[in-house]
Amino acid sequence: MTQKNYVLIPGAWHGAWVWQPVARRLREAGHRALALTMPGVDGDDPSGVTLADAVDYVVDTITRYDLRDVVLAAHSWGGYPATGAALRVPDRIAEVAFVSAVVPEPGVSQADELPAQLGAFVRATIAASGTVPIDLDSVRTVMLPDEPEPVRRMVYELLVPHPGRYFLDALDATALGVPARYVLARDDRALAKPGAVFAARLGVAPVLVPGGHETLLTHPDEVAKALL
């Protein structure tokens, strides 16, 4: 068996912790798995952090560890830095796996992907605070609607405001020159558009796994299997 190098990128508000259950299973299968926390989401100052900084961080991690044949696995918003990194170092990337993630289009930001009213609210929030916070009600109704309240509260306590520029910045180019797959949580309610729309941008059919948007936490066995 050829050992794969998985670099795992979280979505908005999350850190490396959200990938740890999946990462453990990938390691148990004989692969290397490195979960990242993006700049501005690790207790550091989120003001002024840009999407380019996130892309740089992913690229720097790959080159610092001299990783090759990398599987970049991205959750949710993480599709942006994953795509940007794959465009920067395609010779090191074996595949990009989008897990209930946005597949970016050129010049289109995360805020642009949202429904108009929500997008306007997000932009106003960023203008006022520089970040995009998350509230407990959204965790209950959108992210973990089927989980018990103690689980919802535990996850909520781990979430942090997301740097505003991560939602406002876009990539100039997004056409991947490497293989890609799309893994979709069957009951995801949090994606800006249906997962099938994002999968179609890659020209692939989605691989379905159980659970909602937080399937990395609730169904790590199935997600890991879909990534192997």
Report pLDDT for 47.
84
pTM: predicted TM-score of the whole model, two decimal places: 0.97
d(CA 40, CA 62): 19
| pLDDT tens track, the chain, 228 positions | 789 999 999 999 999 999 999 999 999 999 999 999 999 998 888 888 999 999 999 999 999 999 999 999 999 999 999 999 999 999 999 999 999 999 999 999 999 999 999 999 999 999 999 999 999 999 999 999 999 999 999 999 999 999 999 999 999 988 999 999 999 999 999 999 999 999 999 999 999 999 999 999 999 999 999 999
- 3-class state of residue 132 by DSSP: strand
The domain spans of the chain are 5-227
CB environment 78-113: b (16+ within 10 A), e (fewer): bbbbbbbbbbebeebbebbbbbbbbbbbeeebbbbb
May I ask the CATH class of domain 5-227? alpha beta
Alpha-carbon distance values, 150 to 28, 135, 139, 144, 213 (Å): 29, 15, 12, 11, 17
Residue 9 pairs in a beta bridge with: 74
Phi-psi region of 66 (alpha: psi -120 to 50; beta: other; left: phi over 0): left
